[in-house]
């Protein structure tokens, strides 16, 4: 899993690239938590356009980040999910806490 990021207009943009499963979950958590620790943004947009694979472990990772950011009142949005990721998001209700933006 490769994580790219940039901050622009008070928004932290994060691009997840690769496969998010049990094997990559641990490092993805650590990388995202390090990025999310900073205070130079007011919202987070996670771009999944380069995510090749995700299973329910990925949902656990995203929900974990949501819980941490919720305390700081920083919303997280999802953009460019594959049809497959979208199916998992709808099934698990993830969009209720991390809305999809176009």
Partner 1 sequence: MIKPINEMNISFKALSVNEGFARACVAAFCAQVNPSLDEITDIKTAVSEAVTNCVVHAYPKKVGDVNIKVELYENSVIIFVSDNGIGIEDFERAREPFFTTKPNEERSGMGFTVMESFMDKLELLKNEGRGVTVKMEKFFSIKKNIAVGE
Range in contact with partner 1 (rule: CB under 8 A) among 6-14, 41-49, 53-61, 72-80: 53-61
Q: Which of 17, 31, 43, 57 binds partner 1 (CB under 8 A)?
A: 57
- Measured at the CA of 69, the angle between CA 64 and CA 72, to 5 degrees, comes to 150
**Binders in 73-102 for partner 1, by CB under 8 A:** 83-84, 87-88, 91-92
- Measured at the CA of 42, the angle between CA 26 and CA 65, to 5 degrees, comes to 20
Residue 53 in contact with partner 1, rule: CB under 8 A: yes
- Percent helix, percent strand, percent coil in the chain, to nearest 5: 45, 35, 25
| # residues near partner 1 by CB under 8 A | 20
Residue 42 in contact with partner 1, rule: CB under 8 A: no
Residue 63 in contact with partner 1, rule: CB under 8 A: yes
Is the torsion defined by CA of 13, 5, 90, 25 positive or negative?
A: negative
Residue 55 in contact with partner 1, rule: CB under 8 A: yes
Point out which residues bind partner 1 (CB under 8 A).
19, 21-23, 29, 53, 55-57, 59-61, 63-64, 83-84, 87-88, 91-92
């Amino acid at each position: 899993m490769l994580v790219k990021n940039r901050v622009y207009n008070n928004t932290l943009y994060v691009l997840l690239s690769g496969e998010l499963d049990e094997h990559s979950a641990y490092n993805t958590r650590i990388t995202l938590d390090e990025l999310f620790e900073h205070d130079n943004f007011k919202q987070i947009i996670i771009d999944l356009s380069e995510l090749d694979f995700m299973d329910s472990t990925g949902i656990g990772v995203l929900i974990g980040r949501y819980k941490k950011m919720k305390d700081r009142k920083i919303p997280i949005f999802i953009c460019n999910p594959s049809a497959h990721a979208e199916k998992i998001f709808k099934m698990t209700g993830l969009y209720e806490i991390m809305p999809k933006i176009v």
